[in-house]
Amino acid sequence: MPLLDHFRPPMSKHRPWESFHATWCSALADLLNRDLPPGYVALEQVSPGAPVEIDVATYDESELTSAATSDGTATLARTVWTPAAPPMLLPAVFPERFTVEIVASEGGRTLVGAIELVSPGNKDRPAKRRLFAAKCATYLARGVGLIIVDVVSTRQANMHNELVNALGLEASYQMAPESALYAAAYRPVTEGESAHIETWPTPLAVGQALPVLPLSLAADLCIPVDLDAAYCDACERRRIRDVLE
């Protein structure tokens, strides 16, 4: 299945991109979990908006003064502490998140790799672009292998170039301005006192197949990620062919 434009009709009308991105994340996680070595697991993390929402529960006053156990014994209810009103409210943006995280599961959960599917909201204004780039830079600073996949056709910002800017690098490391669709893999490497990021920037195009890119999980472990295979699986799950016929 060649890459389709999921952000313009007919696809955007019949198969919302949010649903497809979520399905693609799930397909990527399933694909990785078939091939990952023991001790690693891929988990999709999908959040279409703000990651935290305040939910204040209200109770009858009698419930706050006492509670009864199963044997009828009265116990004191938990005291709820409320902070003072904040003296300042900072403007904030909460980006959409369509991520596959690869964690080392032995001895706890340690993030070792991430695949980020770019959404329109990640690119719609400078503040969100900087926030996305800062998240990616943080991955790399922690030694986490990273793949960015951007198939958003309706906004032209290039998040690889935003990452280059966030890392304070020269413009020569950026992709061509016309590279609106692309995928890029990043492998942070430290050799003695020297550090660098191995990078595989790959332009994409509607109508062409997606590439296989490397995902670094450790200094001596890199796995291939078949973006096209996961994309085809997601298209099958969402019955994309029905829209094309």
pLDDT tens, position by position, 59-117: 344 444 444 455 555 556 667 888 999 999 888 777 788 999 999 987 778 999 999 99
For the stretch 167-211, pLDDT in tens is 999 999 999 978 889 999 999 998 888 899 999 999 999 999 999
pLDDT at 219 over 90: no
Q: Residue 117 has what pLDDT?
A: 96
Q: Residue 65 has what pLDDT?
A: 45
Backbone φ and ψ of 162, nearest 5°: -65, -40
- For residues 25-56, one letter each, b for 16 or more C-beta atoms within 10 angstroms of the residue's C-beta and e for the rest, the string is bbbbbbbbeeebeeebebbbebeeeeeeeeee
Q: What is the mean pLDDT of residues 219-245?
A: 93
Q: Which amino acid is at 13?
A: K
For the stretch 30-68, pLDDT in tens is 999 999 999 999 999 998 654 444 444 433 444 444 444
DSSP state of 96: -
Closest by CA to 185, choosing from 240, 222, 230, 229, is: 222
- For residues 129-145, one letter each, b for 16 or more C-beta atoms within 10 angstroms of the residue's C-beta and e for the rest, the string is bebbbebbbebbeebbb
Closest by CA to 162, choosing from 138, 137, 189, 186, is: 137
